[in-house]
Each structure stands twice: as C-alpha cells, then as structure tokens.
Amino acid sequence: MKSSNTHKGAAILILGFSVIFLIIAGRFIYIQSTAEIQGVNLNEWAEEVRTSSYSLDAKRGNIYDKNGMLLAYDRPTYKIYAIVDPAYSRSEEDPDHVDDPAGTASALAPILDLERSEIEDRIVEAQEDGRFQVEFGNKGKELSQDVKDQIEEMDLNGINFTEEAKRYYPNGTFASHIIGFARPEEGHITGVSGVEKQMEDYLREKKGQISYERDKYGSKLLNPNEVLTEPDDGENVHLTIDQKIQTFLEDAMATVDDEYEPEKIMAAVLDPDTGQVLALGNRPSYNPNDLGEVQNWYNDIISDSFEPGSTMKMFTWAAAIEEGVYDGEDTFQSGSYEASGTKIHDHKPEGWGEITFDEGFERSSNVAASILGYEKLGPEKYRDYLSEFHLDEKSGIDLPGEGVGKLLYNYPIEKVTTTFGQGTTTTPMQLLTAATAIANDGKMMQPYTLSQITSSENGEIIKEKKPEVIDEPISPETASQMRDLLKQVVSGEHGTGKPFELSDYSLGGKTGTAQIPQKGGGYKTGKENHIFSFLGMAPVEDPELLIYVAVKQPKLDVTETGSEPVTHIVKSVMENSLHYLDVNPDQASEAKVEELEMKDYAGENTDKAKKELKKDFSNITFVGEGKEVVKTLPEPGEKVLSDQRIIVITDEPAMPDITGWSLRDVQKLAEYFELQVETMGNGYVIKQNVEKGAKLNKGGYLVVELAPPE
C-alpha cells in the first residue's frame, strides 16, 4: 500500500515537474524564436543598450564686413567632467575613473578657480550616490583650448572634456548694435538681436549624428552598424560695414562719450549712391561677449524717434525748389511769424531784419521755413512731399526693431511747426534715407547692411543685395541747388554749421537742435536738455559719404554749445574716412585732422619734445621755458585730434598767453595748478589778469574775459 502511494506521488511530481519544464522550455523556445518578452524585442533592446549615439557639431555661419574682416564666428570651448564610476575602468592598474579625489581636486582647483574642497566633495558625493560622472558648474564650462591643454598635460585619471561652440565677437563693442548677438538655446546657437537674429535662417547650423554599437568600455564592436548623418554648417553673411570707417566712428563716439557723458549718441555713415550703411553706432553700447550689464539693447538710430529739429528744413527747402515756388533772392521779415493765432520765433527772437530765403536757410530761420511750407507750398502740397521723401514710413532697412516717427499734421499750427522739425518726429534712419535723394541727384536709395550670403562650403554667392532706388522726390537740378545751400550752411558767412567745416573737403549739411518732451506736457528746459544733431554730405559736388550724428543731453561747460560734441564726431569721421577712401580733396587745407593717441613726454628735453609734437600737432602751448617736460595735457594715452590744443608743462612753469583759448582749455590749465577761475562773458579768452610770463602759484586766482568768435 505504502509502495503504491509512493509511486503515485512520484508520478505526480514527475508529471508536475515535466509540465513546469515544458512550460519553461517552451517559453525559452518562444523567446529564442521570437526574441520578445512582454512586447519588448530583445534584439532591439540589446542593440539599443550597445548603441551609442552622438551629435556631430556644425558651425554657425560667420559674419564678415565688406572687406572680409571676420566680425562673428563660432569658437570652440570645452566643458570638463569627471568619470567617477569604478566599473568604467578596464583595470585597477590603469584606472579610467577618478581614483584619487583629493589629488585630482588639488590639481584642478587653481586652474578652475574653485576651492579644493568643493571639487573633492562633488566627486565623493557622486561616487557615494552611484553616479557615473560629475561636472563642475559654470567654472567648468567655456574653457579655452589653452586651459584644456594645461589640464590634459596633468594626465589625471577620469578627467574628460566635451567640446561646445560659443559665439565669439573678436572686436567687442564694435558695431554691436548691427551685428547683435547669439546664444545657446536648445542645443543650437540662436540669434537674439541684430544681424544674428535677422539672418537666423541662413546662419543657423544643422547638427549631424553618428551612432554605432560598442562594448561596455565604449569601444566599437567589429561590426558596429554605424549610421552617420553629416553636419551642415550655416551660411556666411557679409555686411556693407567697412571696418575702417566703423573704427573711425567708434573711436570718435568713445571720445565724446568720455568727455561729455551724454545720455545717448546715435551716428551712421552711408554711401548715398548705393544706400550701403558703411558704419553705424550708438552709445551706450555693449560687448556681445559679456552681456553682464547691458545699458542699451536698442539700436537707437533705427528705433528711436524724436523731433528732427532744423535738419527737417533741408526737405522743406527742397520741396519748395522742386515745386517751382522758391526764389532764393526773395526777402522776408525774420524774427517772428504768426499762424493760426500762434507766433513762431526764430532762434534769435528779434531776427536779422529783412533777409533773403537763401540767407534764411544759412541762418536756420524757422520763419523762412514756415512761409515756404505754409504759404508758398501750402499744407496739402507740403504734406505730399513729406510722403515723397518717405518721412511718414519706415526706411525698410534690413535690421530688426526699426521704429517709425509720427507726423503731427492735423491742426494748422502742426502744419507750420513740421516745416522746421518741431512736433513731428522721425527716426535718424528716416532722415538719412530722405537725404540720399539730395546727395544722389534726386534718387532716394534703400538703406541696407546685408551685402551677400555665401556658401560656407565653397564660397559661392547664394544671395546678393543690389542698390535699389525707392523713389525720386526731386530732380537732379533741385538736388544740386540744395547741395549748394547746404554748403553755405557750413562755409557761408552766416552759416550755423561753420564749426563743422573740414580741412580738405567741402561739406554741406544742416544742424539740428531738438527739444525733449517731458512728462505732463511741454519741453524740458536748460541748454543741455536737447538733442543736438547734424545731417551732412561730402564732398558737396558729388557726395561720397552721408553722415548723421545726434548727441542727447551732453554735459556742457557754460561757454560750450551743443554742437561741439557733434562737431568732433562729424569732422573726425568724415575727414579720416574720405582720406581712407582715397577721395581727392576738393579744397585747400592747412593740415589733415587726425585722431592720435597722446604719447608720454614726461622727463624729456623740451626742445626734443617740441620737435616731436610738431610732427603731429598744430596747436602747442609750452607753459614756461624750462628745459624738461613735467606733464602734458591731455595726458598720455588719451585720444587727441591733431588740431587740438596741447598744453606742455615745463619744470619752470610761467603763465602763457591764453588769448583765443576755450574755457575748457583754461580749466585744464587751472586744474593742474589749482587756480581758482573767474569768468566774464562767453566764448573764447580775449583778456587775462595774470600776465604772460608771470610765475604760476598754486591756489592763485585767474580771471579771464571771454567773447564769442567773430
């Protein structure tokens, strides 16, 4: 009985084990034949585990100036990381992970500018958490090739790098409001402003990818099933900006920014024959390599609109000439003009008596502009010309963020004030665009900064911008007559633009002084609370360059006018740029005005210093007849124009003849000798209380009488 039960039990167990075996064996056979477990394909899973995929970097397109100078490009940087997992190492004798956290931390700390303990703690914590690798925060990113090489020379176990592209601008603030900047976003470098944003579709790169099967140490298998998608670099963008002219502009703006501390500076130089923007800048500016403290993102010269002031008058006169209602020899009573119950005044309220309209333009008469626009042309016809000059629409320049002014032209008084640039607003680029018609024999040109797009592979031109005439508001004859009038503003007997006169080239242009509105209505008061501007062209007969400069709220001495900071930029940029372009001078000059860096003459013999200084400067004053130079004003390293006054202090100082000096120069001398200055009048020195040759005592008094130049 017992034997029978035992056999039955054994049979049941055998049967049970057989069933289980068949189920398991069947499952294995099923898995082997189908390679699937719960819907997961094991072949695909194994291939995925064995497969490594990496993106292959592509380069964003470069940005060049018109002569091929590199303005923006991708520069390789490196991110450091440490492998901390011991399982990654092939052997204990030659570990591929960080096996000495303390030693590794000590080696890296001074290079990464981190505390040794911070690095060591990161590595140890990562090992304790079972992580594979660890990074070192911002200090471990954007490392240069030199730093990477320095670390690699240490041969530290487990330390590796990944390459990352960073957008780099080799000239810093140079043309930053045109070029803009780009930064990493979602695995790509993406344009945020300027050309970087405007040309994103062309500049943007397409990353490639490579995948292959590897062993646990990362080595490729013999049959890796490699799949490769080639990267595609972005295309290159070429600008119309001329590096040399842009440098002239940047240097001049920097000098004015330092000396006058204005709220804003806006400036641009165009080729009026083509509409190409050769230089453009604003202050405050920014360095796209360091966006820590940016004071001004906006490209003000295309985005900011304000009252144009008297620069508007050139279009009022041009419209009257074109319409045939202008006779420059006709006369009018200057001083004031009544329209719709409101009295308009000239900047000299009592006026200049009865003068011609040509002289009215020279003197920048508001009354003359009002009569021409409101009476001779009539409001409707004048309004048509404003549209003909495109002063009621954007210029269409190929940069992002362009603004547009607003024509106030509803009430009779607004139709009068617009003729001389008050009430109505425009952007500087609108004015420059309109002025191309005067400079270019009636043809108004489309302004542009993007010249070509070329292939990054073979340099072939993909797209090219050609000069485009967008309107012809005036005839060549009218344009020529206007240029003659503009020349008289600068070189004529009564011209308001006389300080802008160039040494080698004839310059025509119009000054502007725009009031600044204040909250609650009305305008700000005080001579500094204006936007001082100049719109001009040279040489006048056939202009090669068109320039606009505006300086907002500069800090002025009591004797200085708002045009002085504008004058510095215009003269420096135009004179130097025309010489650089090999334009033949069209008028006699005493000397070419250049911007130079002041050298250090301290300790030198005065006779030797005099010879050296005379090579570069035309206006030198030696304070005393000592044998040795003690100091120069301006100081060494400062930017100085070649016609600027150079004050040389000798070791035996004595009072020089300061007749004809500006108050700014007098104050430089007084500051050095700690003199207390008292002034009478405005302008330039005509009398001084301390006689020439008298000993200069620190703490003494200097009284000067000033008068405007004749």
Active site residue ranges: 310
**In contact, 65 and 239? CB cutoff 8 Å:** yes
CA distance 315 to 512: 13
Distances (CA, A) of 187 to 36, 77, 164, 232, 287: 35, 15, 10, 15, 23
CA distance 39 to 55: 30
Q: Which residue has the tokens 């309220």?
A: 349
86 exposed, middle or buried (CB, 10 Å; 0-12, 13-18, 19+)? Answer: middle
For residues 95, 97, 103, 106, the Cα torsion angle rounded to the nearest 10 degrees is: 150
Name the residue among 579, 567, 646 with its Cα closest to residue 606: 646
Q: HEC string of 696-708?
A: CCCCCEEEEEEEC
**In contact, 248 and 254? CB cutoff 8 Å:** no
Give backbone dihedrals phi and psi of 294, rounded to 5 degrees, phi first.
Answer: -100, 120
The vertex-50 CA angle with 46 and 54, nearest 5°, equals 135
Number of Cβ within 10 Å of residue 201's Cβ equals 10
**In contact, 550 and 531? CB cutoff 8 Å:** yes
Give backbone dihedrals phi and psi of 661, rounded to 5 degrees, phi first.
Answer: -75, 150
For residue 306, what are its two tokens? Answer: 């304000």
